[in-house]
Amino acid sequence: MSERFKPKLPLKEITTFALSAFALYSISLLAFPKELKQQVRKEQKGVCADCGEKPKKLEIHHIIPQSMGGPDTKDNAVGLCPNCHQEWDELAKKGVFFKKKK
């Protein structure tokens, strides 16, 4: 193997770093625990909390985004259809947050 293509770190360290980075990326995609997502979908009977449509799969939205310190809790979760989820994500970036109906 040419010196030019030799990794500067041992393979074990590179593999550990790559797996750690992948694990963090995967966790960020699965923000809410699976059980919490299922609970929200069940309580809302699969219906979007904003428009009232019943999509194939209700997406779980952070009312206060994680990037703004929003936790992965039921109080900060609401089920939305894909269109409303996208709309509320954009609104949240502007500081407008979804309010649950009582």
pLDDT digits (tens, 9 = 90+) for 6-26: 555 555 555 555 555 544 444
Evaluate whether 49 touches 78 at the Cβ level (below 8 Å).
yes
5 Cβ partners below 8 Å, 6+ apart? none
Residues 31-64 have pLDDT tens digits of 899 999 999 999 999 999 999 999 999 999 999 9
pLDDT the model gives residue 101: 76
pLDDT the model gives residue 15: 54
Question: CA 86, CA 102: separation in Å to the nearest integer?
Answer: 23
